[in-house]
């Protein structure tokens, strides 16, 4: 079965391929399918953005499509940057500027709890979608550490660990990250689709999912 991952982010695609390794499942990136539309992620929530992207790309490509929306939620900032994580410091996306703004906003804060959240949406070519999600709790440092990973990884230390995501080996991050947890939920929930190349949702109602209206 061919499954299109609706991203042109090479780092994200590499993580997904490492975690979602299902026999017989061929994972394609958006860069592998010419002419796909650029989807404006203007939803107010992670599920809204993930579903919009998955459905739009699935209907355009005629392939089952997996899309995600993910970001960082910081308690002291009321959940910001949230859905604005990628462009927290403005357009265009600038990781260094995003991290600098986050540190500035948290200056003087003693409560630095936060979480990475990932919502995955799977859409069939006809446009129906379901979602699963994963969360990784942790804290934000007052200075970056590490050179691996991407985004806010140098500032985020997962709960019960001492290294940032950017200091960890990829194998460890891919076991505990928000995206890893969401992808594990995806394998559990949609494994029958991936393994049997189904053209519809399984007859048995999928667990831990929600089907958006329409």
Beta bridge mates, 65: 4, 123
Nearest CA among 82, 80, 81 for reference residue 49: 82
Question: CA torsion sign, 10 to 20 to 67 to 196?
Answer: positive
User: Active-site residue among 32, 38, 42, 69?
Assistant: 69
Residue 69 among the catalytic residues = yes
> 54 near 6, Cβ under 8 Å?
yes
CB-count burial class (<10 Å; 0-12, 13-18, 19+) for 10 = exposed
The residues assigned a catalytic role are 69
């Amino acid at each position: 079965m061919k499954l299109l991952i609706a991203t042109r982010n090479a780092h994200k695609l590499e993580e997904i391929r490492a975690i979602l390794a299902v026999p017989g499942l061929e994972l394609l990136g958006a860069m592998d399918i010419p002419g796909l539309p650029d989807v404006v992620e203007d939803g107010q929530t992670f599920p809204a953005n993930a579903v919009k992207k998955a459905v739009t790309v699935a209907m355009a490509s005629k392939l089952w499509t997996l899309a995600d929306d993910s970001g960082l939620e910081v308690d002291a900032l009321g959940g910001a940057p949230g859905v604005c994580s990628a462009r927290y410091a403005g357009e265009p996306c600038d990781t260094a500027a995003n991290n600098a703004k986050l540190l500035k906003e948290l200056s003087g804060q003693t409560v630095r709890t936060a979480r990475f959240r990932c919502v995955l949406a799977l859409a069939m070519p006809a446009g129906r979608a379901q979602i699963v999600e994963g969360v990784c709790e942790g804290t934000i440092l007052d200075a970056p550490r590490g050179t691996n990973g991407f985004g806010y990884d140098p500032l985020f230390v997962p709960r019960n660990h001492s290294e940032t995501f950017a200091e960890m080996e990829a194998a460890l991050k891919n076991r505990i990250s928000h995206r890893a947890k969401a992808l594990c939920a995806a394998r559990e929930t949609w494994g029958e689709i991936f393994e049997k190349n189904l053209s519809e949702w399984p007859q048995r109602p999928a667990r831990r999912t929600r089907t958006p209206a329409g």
